[in-house]
Amino acid sequence: MRKERLDKVLANMGVGTRKEVKEMVKAGMVTVNGKVMKASDFKVDVEEDEIICGGKRIRYREFIYLQMNKPKDMVSSTDDPRESTVVELLDDFHRNFRPFPVGRLDKDTEGLLLITNDGKLAHDLLSPKKKVDKAYLARIEGRLTEEHVEEFGRGILLEDGYHTLPAELRIISSGPVSTAEITIQEGKYHQVKRMVGALGMRVSYLKRIRMGPLHLDQSLEPGQYRELTEEEIRLLLDR
């Protein structure tokens, strides 16, 4: 059983501001288990009670799960004294849940960002022990060869002495500027850029396209986001 104030539940579920929902409750627009409830501070059981407001059933949710196509020039945090954050792109309803990005993408990296308030899932996905795949599309200034593929497969010695886990480099095109799909299972600071840097080349564009079972929705423009489907949530939670 989980009890919450009626006005808090209604406001959190996007019915209106706390002030607006208090007025709706007072006006008799809200029923709890079939009975009109005029006290905003009434404690409802969010899992069991049937709350109807203006004829519409209000279903309480504790967690939200969003995927965003992160745009360039925004930082992946909830607040920052100087920079714009991805959370600023969320509408009030979603922001109300106090979600945060799961892991960080660099300011100039685009692509898949999972944003949720489910701390357990976030912890799970970020745990090094869980070895969750992160796949990126990279444009690389330099000519990629099969030797680089093999080096990635053995793990790369970074400039600070850390030897990465084996990673996958799949060459899409090779030339003076190459493109590749790179899959890593860690999340060290600037990891992809540093791995490519250790081969003597530079990443000039980076976009995350997958995290574990979650694929970037290609229909999302940079800066757009949507809620995950039930199937996507199930895939993430059941891993």
Q: Locate 122 and state its tokens.
A: 């976030």
Q: Which of 79, 91, 92, 106 is catalytic?
A: 106
DSSP 107: T
Q: Locate 105 and state its tokens.
A: 């993408």
DSSP 164: P
Contact in structure between 71 and 223 (CB atoms under 8 Å):
yes
3-class SS of residue 133: coil
Give the helix, strand, coil percentages of the chain, each rounded to 5. Answer: 25, 30, 45
Active site annotation includes 80: no
Among 4, 45, 106, 168, binds ligand URA (CB under 6 A): 106
Cβ closest to ligand URA, residue 30 vs residue 167: 167
Closest by CA position to 6, among listed 34, 43, 32: 43
Name the one range near ligand URA by CB under 6 A: 25-33, 158-166, 188-196, 210-218: 188-196
Q: How does DSSP assign 196-234, residue by residue?
A: HHHTT-EEEEEEEEEETTEEP-TTPPTT-EEEPPHHHHH
Question: Does 105 help bind ligand URA (rule: CB under 6 A)?
Answer: yes
Question: Does 170 help bind ligand URA (rule: CB under 6 A)?
Answer: no
Question: Does 193 help bind ligand URA (rule: CB under 6 A)?
Answer: yes
Closest by CA position to 179, among listed 140, 150, 207, 149: 140
Question: Does 3 help bind ligand URA (rule: CB under 6 A)?
Answer: no
Among 32, 87, 192, 236, binds ligand URA (CB under 6 A): 192
Name the one range near ligand URA by CB under 6 A: 55-63, 90-98, 187-195, 230-238: 187-195
**Total residues at interface with ligand URA (CB under 6 A):** 8
CB of 202 to ligand URA, least distance (A): 11
CB of 38 to ligand URA, least distance (A): 52
Question: Does 109 help bind ligand URA (rule: CB under 6 A)?
Answer: yes
Question: Does 210 help bind ligand URA (rule: CB under 6 A)?
Answer: no
Closest by CA position to 148, among listed 129, 126, 169, 163: 169
CB of 34 to ligand URA, least distance (A): 52
Question: Does 178 help bind ligand URA (rule: CB under 6 A)?
Answer: no
Question: Does 206 help bind ligand URA (rule: CB under 6 A)?
Answer: yes
Contact in structure between 105 and 189 (CB atoms under 8 Å):
no
Give residues in contact with ligand URA (CB under 6 A): 105-106, 109, 190-193, 206
List the catalytic residues: 106
